[in-house]
Amino acid sequence: MSEKNNGVPEKNSADVPESIVASAGHSIETETEAETETGAKAGVEPPAGSSAPSLGGAKAYAVWGVAMAGYIFAVTCRSSLSATGIEAAHHFDTTSTALSMFLYLQLFVYAIMQIPAGVLLDRFGARRLIAAGGILMSFGQALMAVAPATSIAVIGRGIVGMGDAMTFISVIRLVSAWFPFERVPLMNQITSMLGGLGQIISIYPFVWLLRLAGWQIAFLSLTAIGVMIAACVIMSVRDTPAAARRTPGAAENHADRTDRTDHADHANRDGLGSALRGLKAVLKTPGTFCGFWVHSTTWFSINMMNQLWGVPFLLAVEGYSREQASAYLAIGMVINVVWALSMGRIAGLHPIHGRAAIVYATVGSQALCWTILLLTPGPHPTWFMVLLLLAMSSGGPASNIAFDFARDTNRPDNLGAATGFANTGGFLSSALIFLGVGMMLDAQGATDPSLYTDHVMRIAVLIQYPMWIIGLTGFTVMLPKTTRILRARFHR
């Protein structure tokens, strides 16, 4: 079968491209095979006399758990500057815009690295990318620790962004390889949810260590932890159940770099030309862009609050103490658990209308709550701040719907590039929001944290509204084509 240029299948399901029928390393016809004792998939038979780890079994959770340590470390590194934002401003004696540049460069690098990281993921496998990401982030944090000037620290944050870019999509790829199809959306949500532990680590233990031992010791400790996690990943993680069956020497061969359903096609995936062809196919698929717009629209609001501007905003507008602001944002991590479990369940059971409903409900509730907050004087009552936190916290789990759209509309051997492209959306929008807030603060004369007032903070966060409008428009335009593909994919 051939794929049409626009990636949209004909109404006759017999004409649906193979890239649509295949999803996350699974086809409809082979889903029942995923739950056999050997976990064989898509014609991959275990070697004689060997036994394969079962999909979703103890080995799958062990591999996922070690990989999760890498992702939690990535989130800790990503949010370490947010937790120390005011300290960083004083440490480097910098302005609001320059402070924004730390995160802007980190997230911009993360965003532009997503597609290359996805291609590398398809080429070299999740184990190598998670380990390489840990080493890069460790080096970036070391630069932050010893940077004599702001420019060196900004470079360090950029290197952190490069390592961070390799981590999450690699863990998502492992989930698709090690778990049964129907469990993948929920496991993706749990992966993202548990990654939030990294933010809690940065808010409490990391800040405690920074105040106790100083800037250098705190950031160098992250360097040491990252190196240890990278070593554990290399020793313990295997990309597929097939790779886990092999001897340690054999585990390094090409099969270890392929998805468990791609063994029949692995010879065609060698080389840059094959990678570029896979990327071209990804960019022709409407579901890839649908995922991009989902991620870019749902997530940036809570990211803005958690990563940099939440504590200053709550101090200036709501009159919170620093401890109250940190606790408020930490409670959002608990709320995130409920949203993740419920949205993961809905996305798995209702892959067409349920996913779209989640996106519209999440963005609509965020925009409504922010509008009420900005139009009414503060401090606001507790019940309203809880509603705001509920709306913002839904953005993280809702953004993971992007990976469901990307996975269910692309070929298994292109999942790295597809996931990476979808994951670009939220980081690009977040980078623009971070920089936009800082620039709007400086434009109002609030160049120092001591000048952050209720009025200037309210004006600065208005930058969210254009992003919501652009993102929802893009999602709405791509949704009908994506829905056609999903209907053919799930025979609905």
Q: Is residue 1 part of a domain?
A: no
Mean pLDDT of the chain: 80
pLDDT (tens digit per residue) in 421-453: 998 898 889 888 988 998 899 898 887 778 888
Contacts of 66 (CB under 8 A, 6+ apart): 232, 233, 236, 237
Does residue 149 or residue 456 have the better pLDDT? 456
CA 100, 95, 137, 63: dihedral to nearest 10 degrees? -40
| Structural domains counted in the chain | 1
**Tokens describing residue 124:** 């070299």
Q: Look at residue 83 in the predicted model and tell me its pLDDT.
A: 63
Q: How confident is the model at residue 263 (pLDDT cuts 50, 70, 90)?
A: very low
Q: Is residue 47 part of a domain?
A: no
Q: Is residue 37 part of a domain?
A: no
Single-letter amino acid, residue 180: P
Residue 383: pLDDT over 60: yes
Q: Look at residue 49 in the predicted model and tell me its pLDDT.
A: 41
Q: Is residue 5 part of a domain?
A: no
Residue 46: pLDDT over 60: no
pLDDT (tens digit per residue) in 335-357: 888 898 888 888 877 888 889 99
Average pLDDT for 385-395 = 95
β-pair partners for 23 = 26
- Do the beta carbons of residue 279 and residue 269 sit within 8 Å? no
**How far is it, in rounded angstroms, from Cα 416 to Cα 411?**
10
Q: Is residue 181 part of a domain?
A: yes
Contacts of 282 (CB under 8 A, 6+ apart): 288, 410, 414, 417, 418, 421
pTM over 0.75? The answer is no
Average pLDDT for 66-79 = 93
Give the domain range for residue 474.
13-30+53-490
Least confident of 44-48, 130-134, 194-198: 44-48
β-pair partners for 26 = 23
- Do the beta carbons of residue 288 and residue 403 sit within 8 Å? no
Least confident of 34-43, 89-98, 315-324, 386-395: 34-43
What is the CATH classification number for the domain harbouring 119?
1.20.1250.20
Q: Look at residue 492 in the predicted model and tell me its pLDDT.
A: 61
Q: Give the number of other Cβ atoms within 10 Å of residue 447's Cβ.
A: 18
Measure Cα distances from 442 to 160, 449, 452, 462 in Å: 26, 11, 10, 15
DSSP 8: P
Q: Is residue 4 part of a domain?
A: no
Residue 483: pLDDT over 70: yes
- CA angle 381-386-465, nearest 5°? 95
Q: How confident is the model at residue 103 (pLDDT cuts 50, 70, 90)?
A: low
Q: Is residue 378 part of a domain?
A: yes
Average pLDDT for 298-307 = 88
**How far is it, in rounded angstroms, from Cα 436 to Cα 452?**
15
Least confident of 246-255, 269-278, 474-483: 246-255
Residue 481: pLDDT over 60: yes
DSSP 26: B
Q: Is residue 36 part of a domain?
A: no
